[in-house]
Amino acid sequence: MTLIEGKTVSAAVKERVKKEIERRGIEPCLAVILVGDDPASQIYVGNKQKACAAVGIRSLKYKLPKETTQEELLALVDRLNANENVHGILCQLPLPKPLDKRPVLSRIDPKKDVDCFHPYNVGKLWSSGAAFLPCTPAGVIELLNYYNIDCAGKRCVILGRSNIVGKPMAALMLKKDATVTICHSKTANLPAVCAEADILISAVGIARFVTADMVKPGAAVIDVGISRLPDGKLSGDVDFEKVKEKAGYLTPVPGGCGPMTIAMLMQNTLTAYDLQHT
Phi (first) and psi of residue 157, to 5 degrees: -110, 125
What residues contact residue 61 under an 8 Å CB cut-off, 6+ apart? 31, 32, 34, 45, 49
Q: Catalytic annotation on 115?
A: yes
248 neighbors 2 (Cβ within 8 angstroms):
yes
Closest CA relative to residue 277, chosen from 26, 57, 80:
26
146 neighbors 249 (Cβ within 8 angstroms):
no
Phi (first) and psi of residue 109, to 5 degrees: -55, 125
Task: State the Cα–Cα distance between residues 45 and 91, nearest whole angstrom.
Answer: 10
Q: How far is CA 142 from the centre of its chain?
A: 11
Catalytic-labelled residue, pool 109, 112, 113, 115 = 115
78 neighbors 14 (Cβ within 8 angstroms):
no
Catalytic-labelled residue, pool 14, 92, 111, 223 = 92
Catalytic-labelled residue, pool 48, 112, 154, 246 = 48
Q: Catalytic annotation on 92?
A: yes
Task: State the Cα–Cα distance between residues 106 and 67, nearest whole angstrom.
Answer: 21
Active site residue ranges = 48, 92, 115
